[in-house]
Amino acid sequence: MALLWTISVCGLFSLVLSASPECEELVKPCELMDLTALHGKWIVVASTGQGSMQKYLDDMTSSWFELSPTSEEGKLRLRWGDRVNGKCLLGGLDATVSGNKFTMVFEGVLHKGEYLQSCPDCLMFMSSSVDSSGVSSRYLFLSKREANLEDSELETLKKQAECLNLPQSFLTYGATDLCPYEQVATQQ
């Protein structure tokens, strides 16, 4: 998904964590033993951050992405559909995954990220980049298999954002107006 990979989808950013044990527990890296746990379609339910793609996220009303295997070990194919200002923005690219970290290049900008522990059947990741003008961006995304965000999950997200020194105000997205999956599948 463009935002994800504007995101999309770490070894990357220096996290300035609160020294509390609660923060250490809240922002633990996800231990991926097998990339197949990432495979499939995900719906972005919330995001927060700061940087060059904030306007895009502000204008986005829904987003999904799919991660699938490639023939190359350590690579995943990322396809997405974002509804921004009423239009579907679709795309795809390959991401390199090593452990719980990922890298991808979108529109000439290197994005680095890290998967973090989260709620069951959720995929949370932190993404950071520096664009050609030197503007750095950091974003936290929560995606789920189903587009429901529980109040308790949002409260935990706010605490995680605080630990990562990110804004605690989250944009939330619905699933009622998702871009058609078939459109991106035929374009790739």
With contact defined as beta carbons under 8 Å apart, do 69 and 77 qualify? yes
- How far apart CA 186 and CA 188 sit, in angstroms, is 6
Please state the CATH superfamily assignment of the domain spanning residues 2-187 in this structure: Calycin beta-barrel core domain (2.40.128.20)
- How far apart CA 32 and CA 38 sit, in angstroms, is 9
* Residue labelled with tokens 């030197």: 134
H or E, element range at 181: helix 181-187
Q: For every one of its 188 residues, what pLDDT tens digit does the chain have, with 9 covering 90 and above?
A: 433 333 333 322 334 444 577 898 888 888 776 778 889 999 999 999 998 888 888 999 999 999 999 999 889 999 999 999 999 999 999 999 988 899 999 888 899 999 998 888 899 999 999 888 888 899 999 999 988 888 888 888 999 999 999 998 888 987 778 998 765 544 44
With contact defined as beta carbons under 8 Å apart, do 93 and 106 qualify? yes
What secondary structure, in 3-state letters, does 115-176 show?
A: EECCCCCEEEEEEEEECCCCCEEEEEEEEECCCCCCHHHHHHHHHHHHHCCCCCCCEECCCC
Q: What is the pLDDT of residue 148?
A: 87
